[in-house]
Amino acid sequence: MSDSSPLRTAGRPGMPQQPTPSGRGVPAVWLALLAGPLSFGIAGPSLILPDAARDLGVSLGAATWIVTAFGWAIALGTPLMAGLQNHQGVRRALSACTALVALGAVLVAAVPSLPVLMLGSAAQGLGTAGFTTIAMSLTRSARSMGLVTSSLATVGAAAPLITDLTAGALSWRAGLALPALSLLAVPGVLHHRPADPSPESSFDPRGAALLTALVTALVFVPHSWPPAAACALTAGGLLWLHLRTRPDGFVPASILRAPVFLLTSGLAFLLAAVNFAMIYLLPALLTEQTGWSSGAVGMAILWPLLFGGVASYATIAATAKAPVKTVAVLFPGLAATGAVLAGAAASPVLLLTAQALTSLAAASGQGAFAARAAAAVPGDARATAMGQFNLCYLLGAAFGPAIAATLTG
């Protein structure tokens, strides 16, 4: 149970800052700043990976592991950091995430070695995944939640261009450290956060470990599918057996018994994979057709990505009461149309149109499918279900760049 009495020690020198009364809440602008920079790690490297590959002396496919490590970490970090927050409270979760993001930023900015860059990228991914989970959990209205999700979409749209400009002014390694901008929000969130609840005692370490093994194996599937698929099947089987003895554990069995949850989570994974594959394919296709500089390419792809993020709000509202079958056809259909256009496009206009369609499908599908996934599970499992749903979407974000590297390799 949380302590409802305010702790007022801010005016006493030398005393640690305490949470403000829970009724005030954290201003949404701090939550948006805490969550938004995560998108730098997903979409930002799309224009600078060729420079990274050249300086590191590796292939473009090998350099893509920097992004894959980040995608693996945010997919895994979403449920793991949600568990940390549930059991240890916001302050300790923020502290752990701050340490991870700061360490990761130092590693990617200072050490030009592919293994170290992967490690630093993964640390930033784990930390920013936790920041985003914390930000969403602290929202107190639909408006503040909208601002948080809008920050993710807006930063994601501008990330390739901003990262490229940062690389030009400083270095591509500095561009990889941009997720650390989320650290600017930590003092504000700490100051306004509500009092932490007492730690729970029902943490399921075996379930968490098995989920970690499953996600890790799945991330390796695009790179080395036979052994990775075998490992994924083994981890998935062990997790399923574990659910029979611990149905209320880290992955509640109740959400896996909901067909609509499974359907929407799977479709969210597919939409994210297509969208982020397009984000990494498009720069090379545009450069090949036009000869534009990386800055010009970044400016060009900014607009279809912004369109997808902004138009998704109206699209989600328009389909709010539509049956599951309708949205299950509509958004994958948009993504498929965009993929076909990209494969057959003979002009930059058609390529950018393809990106707009896949961006709209992913941004709208994430919101529309999340609402239906939440409604499909028992009320006491909805928070955990949202963590697992977001895991599926972010796992698709990890697959996308790897798929793009395979297609261009």
Tokens (6 digits) for 365 = 């599908």
Q: Are 190 and 97 in contact (CB under 8 A)?
A: no
Q: Which residue has the higher pLDDT, 90 or 163?
A: 163
Residue 139's SS3 state is coil
Rounded (5°) CA angle 24-197-191: 40
The superfamily CATH assigns to domain 250-409 is MFS general substrate transporter like domains (1.20.1250.20)
- The reported pLDDT for the residue numbered 234 is 93
Q: Is the dihedral of CA 337, 313, 372, 279 positive or negative?
A: positive
How far is C-alpha 360 from the chain's CA centre?
17
- The reported pLDDT for the residue numbered 197 is 58
What pTM was computed for the model? 0.75
Unique residue bearing structure tokens 């998108």: 39
- Domain range annotation of the chain: 24-195, 250-409
- Over the stretch 29-46, which tens digit does the pLDDT of each residue have? 888 899 889 989 888 888
- Over the stretch 184-206, which tens digit does the pLDDT of each residue have? 999 988 887 776 655 554 677 88
Residues 265-277: what's their mean pLDDT? 91
Write the Ramachandran bin of 291: left for phi over 0, alpha for psi from -120 to 50, otherwise beta.
left
Residues 140-148: what's their mean pLDDT? 67
For residue 93, which of 213, 186, 203 has the smallest C-alpha distance?
A: 186
pLDDT above 70: residue 6: no
Query: What is the spatial distance between Cα 78 and Cα 212, in angstroms, rounded to a whole number?
Result: 11
- Fold designation for 24-195: Growth Hormone; Chain: A; (1.20.1250)
Identical fold, 24-195 and 250-409: yes
Q: How confident is the model at residue 321 (pLDDT cuts 50, 70, 90)?
A: confident
Query: What is the spatial distance between Cα 70 and Cα 66, in angstroms, rounded to a whole number?
Result: 7
